[in-house]
Structure 1
Amino acid sequence: MSVSVEQSTPRSLTRLTGLLLLLCAASVGAQTVSTDYTVETVTTGLEHPWSLAFLPDNRMLVTERAGRLRLINQDDVLITEPVSGLPEDIYVDAQAGLKDLLLAPDFEDSGELHFSYACGTAEANTTCLARATLEGRQLHNVEVIFRADPLREGSVHYGGRLARLPDDTLLLTLGDGFSYRNEAQNRQNHIGKIVRLNPDGSVPADNPFVDDPDTRDEIFTLGHRNPQGILYDADTDRIIAHEHGPRGGDELNIIRAGENYGWPLITTGVDYTGARITPFTELPGLTTPILTWTPALAPSGITRYDGFLFPDWRGDYFIGGLAGQSVRRVRLHNGDATEEEVLFADRGDRFRDVRTGPDGALYLLTDRASGSVLRVVPDR
């Protein structure tokens, strides 16, 4: 299926000078950081863009949920022809499709990258992880290194976000498939888990459950619903992830090896019918979130801002919101969320991914049938 490419105007600027909306969660102070910024449109014409990566030569790679990998050149022009060589079994429907993208630390020399996607058919599908090498506009040596087990029906709640740890191991988030939520507590499968893998898909010898015969070796944490954002923060040596709750109860968590994050035994949300899923918001042995969102934010994508263009933002986390149609700036202190600010809510966009660019700008992906890459820079 072809996609019309709409060239961006010469970096037409949309100046946002209105008052920023604030949202207070329980025990979280709301504060506006005095930062003047401009939002530029880098490019448009992307079909539900999902993930953004910056190449060493100043090009960008963007995944489209529709099952395409796209290149944006150094002049911010979207190349019409997608990158070739993706697997043929990408399953595209509803939330299913091509998902996250992660470049190898030595990408400039090796061209190696990892990507996640929904694989299979409507009756039997799951989340897959593959690695490949990028040469020009083509993927080579494509190898599927992990398939979440078991296969399931439906087209929602895949997780699919990737993060790299300092030892070069990978974290991959996996959703509960919506209709399989009780399986998030089943240690014999990958549903509702975060798994940790070596770059070739093998199991690290120091995974938390490798000596537990009742738990799959790949599992790093369990009890997740649909985590769509994860990162490793080198400055604090901690892993941060967020996940979708049901009707409310979206969570921001500090991820620690071997811990159980409780879904569906504990939650602050309710079912879509309004029915109570569980009477408990905490239980012994289960880890509670550091921040929750009700009504639902539907968080997707996360970055820790470490750029130089916005000194007041340094060290803060930026989280995209789909249902919340905003980006949340969250400040942590000693592992507690102490500030939250709502940004870009006046645009009416669903924000799928948030990244800190090598140029110090903040980059956003909008989740639309004709989605955009946006660049946030200081006001001129």
Structure 2
Amino acid sequence: MVRRRFVLAVSAMAAIPAVVRDRSTLAQDTMPSARASYGLTTLSRGLEQPWSMAFLPDGRMLITERPGRLRVFAQGRLDPRPLEGVPAVHAAGQAGLLDICLHPGFAQNRVLYLSYIAGDSRLSLTSVARAELGDGGLRNVVRIFEARPGASGNLNLGSRIVFDRAGKMYVSTGDRFQMNRAQDLGDLAGKVVRLNDDGSVPPDNPFVGRQGARPEIFSWGHRNPQGLALHPETGRIWEVEHGPKGGDELNVLKPGANYGWPLVTYGTNYDGSKITDNRHLPGMEDALRTWVPSISPCGLTFYTGHKFPQWRGSLFTGALSNQALFRIGVEGERYAGEERLLVGRLPYIRDVRQGPDGLLYLVTRSDDGGLFRLEPA
């Protein structure tokens, strides 16, 4: 059954290794929320357009910078030397080095994945590389996925990576600002793909064997998905994506499902012109939540820790254009309200992750971007 879409204007609802061990010099601001007071701690500045984070078993953190660098944060300090071996990226506009994701068996195999834009200004592709983390850098780097066909332009590129409980990898791709590509099953733009950990196609993917359809596709009809997260109880993949002017979405992904873009949307073109009158169409999935006006959701994580018991089960996403962090309440697979945190205090949150210490970590989109942490006040 197709769910009804919930639409409303943005409003507020009333023995693990420590990632940071030295807190003596850290500044903290304290703020209240509807359920828990929290402090915002600045861990590091001087990151250039940070995009994503990953926590290593030994307590270190890896941070991607969009110009093409992979940085290490350890013992309360950002290493000034980037890791070697990162694949060459096309860095312009929204393009560059994007997401980082550890293999589920990283502790044994040291394998990680990077999503990035490969190519140049004439022809570029959203890509994924598989690599092993060694001393001082990456080794055995292999590109295992390309969102073909390539295109020019540096907008609506995606891209996030997440693994499910079965060890399958999901990668989001944007429509490259060419909206009709999202409805073309022979095109990997505007999709979420499902892959084995080596980049091969699982035989049970929904479009395997269908003539004219790419077998990598898991779901389609997406505009610019910039957040993927695994539900800690159901194991389903949740997704957030940017609409145009209005029409950002929160979705639960289903195999083979069409999420409508651009045939269904609450958004308009940036010049205010109409895209479509359709808000629902038969055979297309409605979003759990649609934001009008846009908040530009970026990064996505379910909170499962014990440091903020009042927030357990909540979903968190950065809101670039709203300059806030959104805490979204969910009940099963239903949207159950939201509140805005850090409003005007930490602009342009690009990613949010739960650390192994049960605290929330954020990076901000800026040429002088930072790494921050939310702690109980």
- Residues 260-287 of structure 1 show CA distances to partners (whole Å, capped at 9, x for unaligned) of 0000000001110101101101100011
Q: Once the 2 structures are TM-superposed, how far is the Cα of residue 181 of structure 1 from its aligned partner? A: 0.7
For residues 227-266 of structure 1, the aligned pairs below 5 Å read 227-266=225-264
- Residues 167-209 of structure 1 show CA distances to partners (whole Å, capped at 9, x for unaligned) of 111000000001x110110010101011001111100010001
Question: SS at 2:344's partner residue?
Answer: helix
Quick check: 346-355 or 247-256, which moved more? 346-355
Name the residue aligned to 1:78. 78
> Is 1:280–2:295 an aligned residue pair?
no
Name the residue aligned to 2:159. 160
For residues 95-110 of structure 1, the aligned pairs below 5 Å read 95-110=94-109
The amino acid of 1:221's aligned partner reads S
CA distance in 2, matches of 1:8, 1:155: 39
Name the residue aligned to 2:26. 11
For residues 305-316 of structure 1, the aligned pairs below 5 Å read 305-316=303-314
The verdict on how the C-alpha distance between 1:265 and 1:9 changes in structure 2, with shifts beyond 3 A counting, is farther
Question: SS at 1:347's partner residue?
Answer: coil
Q: Once the 2 structures are TM-superposed, how far is the Cα of residue 91 of structure 1 from its aligned partner? A: 0.3
CA distance in 2, matches of 1:84, 1:129: 17
Name the residue aligned to 1:59. 60
CA distance in 1, matches of 2:66, 2:101: 16
CA distance in 2, matches of 1:136, 1:352: 28
Name the residue aligned to 1:27. none
CA contact (8 A) 2:324 2:342 kept: yes
Question: SS at 2:144's partner residue?
Answer: strand
Name the residue aligned to 1:144. 143
CA contact (8 A) 1:102 1:113 kept: yes
CA contact (8 A) 1:362 1:377 kept: yes
Name the residue aligned to 2:124. 125
Name the residue aligned to 1:200. 198
* TM-score, normalised via structure 1 length: 0.92
* TM-score, normalised via structure 2 length: 0.92
Name the residue aligned to 1:347. 345
For residues 169-248 of structure 1, the aligned pairs below 5 Å read 169-178=168-177, 180-248=178-246
CA distance in 2, matches of 1:232, 1:13: 30
CA distance in 1, matches of 2:375, 2:86: 33
Name the residue aligned to 2:4. none
The amino acid of 1:213's aligned partner reads Q
CA distance in 1, matches of 2:126, 2:266: 27
The amino acid of 1:16's aligned partner reads M
- Residues 30-80 of structure 1 show CA distances to partners (whole Å, capped at 9, x for unaligned) of xx22x011111111110010001101111100000111000001x220000
CA distance in 2, matches of 1:110, 1:316: 31
Aligned length: 356
Question: SS at 1:133's partner residue?
Answer: strand
Name the residue aligned to 1:334. 332
> Runs of 4 or more off by more than 2 Å in structure 1?
none
Aligned residues with identical type, % of pairs: 43
